[in-house]
């Protein structure tokens, strides 16, 4: 019996196969440290550039109250940071297939005995950890530039919102990872379009109620809307668990529906790719 | 043959059985600025192919570029679904139960694809873990195989993109044998290698087969390699398996009274397929549009890389 056969007969060890992907992505991350630095600098600059808009609003008189400026600053800061986190997770997940095509390893990886669910969950764990580390660094670099009051924040609730919201984010990431599987040449661009749509409708830099009615309706279908709302409520208003139960329940529902749905959709897409000969390297 | 090979032979389990496998590709319908898709019909890459490989045997599939070798390998690797036919690996149905098949097989391609920025060891660690080895086991086995292929620990620490083509292919061989497979698919494993690297790879494969009784399917268009390594050979031409037998049987078939040592395998191939390797490559050019959508892949890419 081969080692792989033994492992596949033991569910706990089967789950551990997912570690292979976390470790591999970490090694890739270390080898491509210069790119990581680029994205970190870009993230910090983007955060500063957008959050300084609050100061401009005060200078031009758009914000007059002394309590409004710190509030607007925190609103924009949270928006940019949460978007940095979400885009890191979505980018990592959309690379599930794309990176393997570039490197030419796709056939070797997909013929390993790692069940696809374990493969995708391994990539998701890395994406979430990567997103959290990058966002924490952006926060550490950006915070000294602004005077914000975090005394009211309910951090455990904010952490709970991020934890529950990340599950639905993983589902969204797996769905966007399907596009490069179906469309080897245009899938990457399509993934970015999905991200752009999420950015538009989820209230990243403005409240959702400023959107036209039909876009507000679309915003209800984005888990990012509830993730952002929950974190802002917890950090800006200090809302406790009782206030955030609704947001958390919706995010949990998104997670429960999206992750199994995305895994099932990936399985169907993979079968179609196998039928049409698309599981091969590109370029 | 070692204990494991004998065990399968005694149990009567056939390592590889291919029955009536057919795969055709249709041209892409979504090609901007071209109506070619509407005019071109499907291209049959593998056409009703059947054969069996015995335990511990090295079975060679010889064919020119575009003859269907890589398509066949992709089907056996659980990466491509045939239109018709059945493939069984150690009794498991490849189409219905790929998850049971995958732990049993591994593959070396003509193109040693790796995560290029990662070191050889980091790549091997990933693939070892994906086949259930612990980190320590993967490192230990990797170094042992690399040493047998005359690559040192120093090489294992270098990023793949700093290694030569021959060294990369040796790492690809190490990756494939790291999982201790029962069936190894070698898809033109020595294409583009210098003579010494070629000998190293061929020697290693022969040694592993002798020691571990691994069953091997080898695709190649190198007649000398096929004759040197294979117990039996099948000729693939236009997607069809047109002849099959031991090298001696195939030579005898076309000798027509001539001494067998005057009949080389190239002559046998031409006599039994009615075409030469060069003719098939010309056909590849004619089928360029199909190759773009669903190419025979590795071989043509390597040609491109060499140019």
Q: Kindly provide the ipTM of the predicted complex, given to two decimals.
A: 0.88
E strand spans, B32-99 = 43-53, 58-62, 84-89, 92-93
Angle between helices B135-148 and B195-212 (to 10 degrees): 120
Q: What is the pLDDT of residue A4?
A: 65
pLDDT digits (tens, 9 = 90+) for B1-27: 444 444 445 466 899 999 999 999 987
* B213, B218, B222, B224 alpha-carbon torsion, rounded to 10°: 20
Which H or E run includes B183?
A: strand B183-187
Whether the pLDDT of residue A81 is over 50: the answer is: yes
Give percent of chain B with pLDDT exceeding 70: 82
Using 50, 70 and 90 to split pLDDT, how confident is the model at A61? confident
Q: Tens digit of pLDDT for each residue in B259-296? A: 888 888 889 999 998 877 556 544 443 343 333 333 34
User: Smallest Cβ distance to A31: which of B109, B118, B295?
Assistant: B118
In the block, residue with structure tokens 């529902």: A253
Please report which confidence band the pLDDT of residue B40 belongs to, taking 50, 70 and 90 as the band edges. Answer: low
Residue of A nearest to B75 (CA): A274
- Confidence band, pLDDT 50/70/90 cuts, at residue B97: very high
Predicted pLDDT at B286: 36
Q: Answer yes or no: is pLDDT of B193 > 60.
A: yes
Contact list, B182 vs chain A (CB under 8 Å): 2
All domains in chain B, ordered by first residue: 3-111+182-194+212-306 (3.40.50.300)
With 0.80 as the threshold, say if the pTM is over it: yes
A36-59 mean pLDDT: 94
**What H or E segment, with its residue span, contains residue B25?**
strand B16-25
Q: Which residues of A touch B105 (CB under 8 A)?
A: 111
* Nearest CA-CA distance, residue A168 and chain B, Å: 26
pLDDT band at A58 (very low <50, low <70, confident <90, very high): confident
State pLDDT tens for residues B126-155. Answer: 999 999 999 999 999 999 999 999 998 899
Tally Cβ neighbours within 10 Å of residue B157.
12
User: In this complex, is the C-beta atom of A4 within 8 Å of any C-beta atom belonging to chain B?
Assistant: yes
Helices (H), B158-238: 165-178, 195-212, 223-229
Residue A282's SS3 state is coil
Q: Which residues of B touch A28 (CB under 8 A)?
A: 115, 117-118
Q: What is the pLDDT of residue B222?
A: 86
Which chain A residues are within 8 Å of B183, Cβ to Cβ? none
User: Looking at the complex, does the CB of residue B180 fall below 8 Å from at least one CB of chain A?
Assistant: yes
> What tens digit of pLDDT does each residue of A210-252 get?
999 999 999 999 999 999 999 999 999 999 999 999 999 999 9
Residue A96 confidence (pLDDT): 85
Q: Could you tell me if A232 and A158 are in contact, meaning their C-beta atoms sit under 8 angstroms apart? A: no
pLDDT value at residue B2: 42
Q: Which two tokens stand for residue A272?
A: 């179609």
Smallest CA–CA separation between B270 and chain A, in Å? 30
Pick the residue of A1, A4, A183 with the most B CBs within 10 A to test the interface with B by mutation. Answer: A4
> What is the pLDDT at residue B279?
64
Residue B5 confidence (pLDDT): 45
| B113/A3 Cβ within 8 A | no
The torsion angles phi and psi of B84, rounded to 5 degrees, stand at: -145, 160
Q: How high is the pLDDT of residue B285? A: 35
Distance between A174 CA and the closest CA of chain B, angstroms: 20
Q: How far apart are CA A108 and CA B102, in angstroms?
A: 11
Find chain A residues with C-beta within 8 A of B181's C-beta. Answer: 2
- Cβ neighbours of residue A79 closer than 8 Å, sequence gap 6 or more: A50, A203, A204, A205, A228
Q: State whether residue A275 sits within 8 Å of chain B by CB.
A: yes
């Amino acid at each position: 019996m081969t080692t792989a056969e033994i492992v596949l007969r033991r569910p706990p060890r089967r789950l551990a196969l997912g570690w292979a992907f976390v470790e591999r992505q970490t090694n890739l991350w270390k080898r491509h440290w210069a790119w990581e630095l680029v994205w970190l600098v870009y993230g910090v600059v983007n955060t500063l550039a957008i959050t300084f808009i609050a100061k401009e609003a005060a200078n031009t008189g758009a914000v007059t109250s002394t309590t409004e400026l710190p509030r607007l600053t925190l609103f924009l800061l949270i928006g940019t940071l949460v978007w940095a986190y979400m885009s890191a997770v979505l980018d990592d997940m959309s690379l599930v297939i794309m990176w393997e095509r570039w490197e030419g390893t796709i056939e070797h990886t997909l013929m390993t005995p790692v069940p696809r669910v374990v493969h995708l969950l391994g990539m998701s764990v890395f994406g979430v950890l990567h997103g959290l580390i990058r966002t924490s660094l952006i926060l550490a670099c950006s915070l000294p530039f602004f005077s914000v009051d975090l005394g009211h924040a309910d951090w455990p609730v904010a952490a709970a919102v991020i934890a529950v919201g990340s599950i639905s984010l993983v589902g969204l990431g797996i769905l966007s990872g399907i596009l490069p599987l179906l469309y080897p040449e245009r899938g990457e661009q399509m993934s970015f379009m999905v991200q752009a749509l999420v950015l538009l409708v989820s209230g990243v830099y403005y409240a959702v109620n400023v959107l036209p009615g039909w876009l507000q309706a679309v915003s209800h279908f984005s888990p990012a809307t509830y993730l952002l709302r929950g974190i802002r409520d917890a950090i800006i208003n200090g809302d406790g668990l009782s206030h955030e139960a609704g947001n958390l329940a919706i995010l949990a529902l998104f997670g429960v529906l999206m992750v199994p749905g995305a895994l099932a959709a990936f399985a169907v897409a993979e079968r179609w790719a196998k039928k049409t000969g698309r599981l091969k390297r590109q370029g | 043959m070692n204990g494991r090979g004998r065990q399968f032979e005694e149990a009567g389990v056939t390592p590889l059985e291919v029955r009536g496998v057919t795969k055709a590709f249709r041209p892409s319908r979504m090609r901007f600025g071209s109506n070619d898709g509407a005019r071109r019909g499907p291209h049959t890459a593998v056409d009703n192919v059947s054969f069996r490989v015995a335990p511990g045997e090295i079975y060679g599939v010889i064919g020119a570029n575009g003859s269907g070798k890589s398509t066949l390998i992709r089907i056996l690797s659980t990466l491509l679904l045939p239109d018709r036919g059945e493939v069984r690996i150690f009794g498991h149905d490849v189409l219905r139960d790929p998850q049971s098949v995958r732990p049993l097989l591994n593959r070396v391609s003509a193109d040693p694809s790796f995560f290029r920025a990662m070191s050889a060891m980091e790549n091997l660690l990933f693939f070892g873990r994906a086949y259930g080895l612990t980190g320590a086991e993967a490192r230990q086995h990797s170094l042992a195989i690399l040493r047998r292929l005359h690559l040192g620990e120093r090489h294992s620490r270098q990023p793949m993109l700093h290694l030569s083509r021959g060294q990369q292919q040796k790492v690809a061989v190490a990756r494939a044998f790291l999982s201790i497979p029962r069936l190894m698919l070698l898809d033109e494993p020595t294409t583009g290698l210098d003579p010494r690297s070629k000998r190293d790879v061929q020697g290693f494969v022969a040694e592993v087969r002798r020691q571990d009784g691994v069953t091997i399917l080898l695709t190649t268009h190198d007649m000398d390699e096929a004759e040197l390594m294979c117990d039996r050979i099948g000729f693939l031409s236009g997607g069809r398996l047109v002849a099959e037998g031991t090298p001696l049987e195939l030579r005898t078939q076309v000798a027509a009274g001539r001494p067998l040592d005057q009949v080389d395998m190239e002559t046998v191939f031409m006599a039994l397929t009615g075409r030469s390797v060069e003719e098939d490559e010309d056909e590849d050019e004619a089928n360029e549009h199909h190759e773009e959508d669903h190419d025979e892949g590795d071989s043509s890419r390597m040609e491109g890389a060499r140019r």
